Each structure stands twice: as C-alpha cells, then as structure tokens.
Amino acid sequence: MACFIYHFMFAMAKKHVNALESSCSNLNSQDKVNGFNPLNEELNKNFDMEKIVKKIAWIFHENWRKSRIDKNGVCEPIMEKSEDEKWTKKHWTEMVDIANTKFEDLPKNWQRENLEAAKVAVELVYKRVMSWEEITSEMIEEMANVVHIKWLERNWIEWSFENQRVDYENLSAEEKAKDRAQIELTIQIIKSEK
C-alpha cells in the first residue's frame, strides 16, 4: 500500500515539478530579445558552482546539528555506518556519530545527502538570482515543494517518517519551514557570491 501511495504522490507532483524546473531554466523574454544573457559564461566565470554547493551543504548539516542541541547544550548521538573506506581506515571504525560530527569530518556517504539537497536548491535558485529575477514568496513555496519531493525521492525508505510522506501542502508548518529555509538560505548565499 505504501508503495502505491508513493508512486501516486510522485505522479501527481511530477507535472508541477516539471513546470517549475522549466520556468527556472527560462530567462526573461525581453532580456533574450535585447541580447542580454545574465547566465553567460563570461559574466559568471568567477561563480564556482561546486564551491557554492559544498558551502550550502555544510550549512545545511550544521543547522541540522544545531537544531538537535538540547537546553543543556547536548546533542544526542546518532550512530550510523560509514561506507567510506578511507574514512573508516583513518578512524579505525565503521561507525560515525553524524549528529556530533562536523560536515567536513563526515564520511562521504554521510556528506552525500546534504550535497544532494544543496544541488537541488542551487539548481532551483541559481538562474533566477543571476538573472536578477524578483523571487516572490509564491516562488519560494513552489521551490520548497520541489525540495520536499526530491528529498522524498532520496529518503523514502531510510529517513522519512509517516508525517513526511505526504504532499508538501499537507506537511506540518515545521516541515514546510525546513524546506523553505533551504531555498531562502540558497538565495542569500548565491546573492552574496554574485
């Protein structure tokens, strides 16, 4: 039954995601007519996409860690298995406490989720920010919806809870705020790098 709901939910959301991704890739038609292309390689040669994705991934992980700290300043450990042989060899263990480990010290398999989330956010935001497009609260909601859908695609089995396996519109205010925060942070970071 869960499998059916999963496939149904993504089938219904797919058209919205495709429409949003399409609009993210289009420039303002007047700019095209005037020959202005703010995404021109020459204009953005100093914009290091990989660096930005890593920076945003680092912030996503550190914000998640901070959100887990209790009133006594303690973060409950979350022990997970490393699949990174180099990391395992260096630390003499396969287990890592992901909640009390900085992003840069995580094994590659535990950095991956934050990097993937950052890539999604950057792909949604980059062209809009670089073309000086005004990003409305409605656009942020649409992009947050895509963030949620992409997160579910990556985490349906291992990391999602029942209350997260719903359409964006049916998420709790707290869960929606997490998705919106990823987009808003990405907008700020990309604007600061322009």
> Using one digit for the tens of pLDDT, what is the confidence trace for 31-72?
333 333 344 454 455 678 899 999 999 999 999 999 999 999
Tell me phi and psi for residue 153, to 5 degrees.
-60, -35
- Give the whole-angstrom CA distance, residue 110 versus residue 114: 8
Tokens standing for 172? 């709790």
| pLDDT tens digits for range 84-110 | 999 999 999 999 999 999 999 999 999
Q: What per-residue confidence (pLDDT) applies to 156?
A: 80
Residues 57-67 as b or e (16 or more Cβ within 10 Å = b): bbbbbeeebee
Domain extents in the chain: 2-23+46-68+102-193
Q: What pLDDT does 45 receive?
A: 57
pLDDT at 20 over 80: no
What pTM was estimated for this model as a whole?
A: 0.74
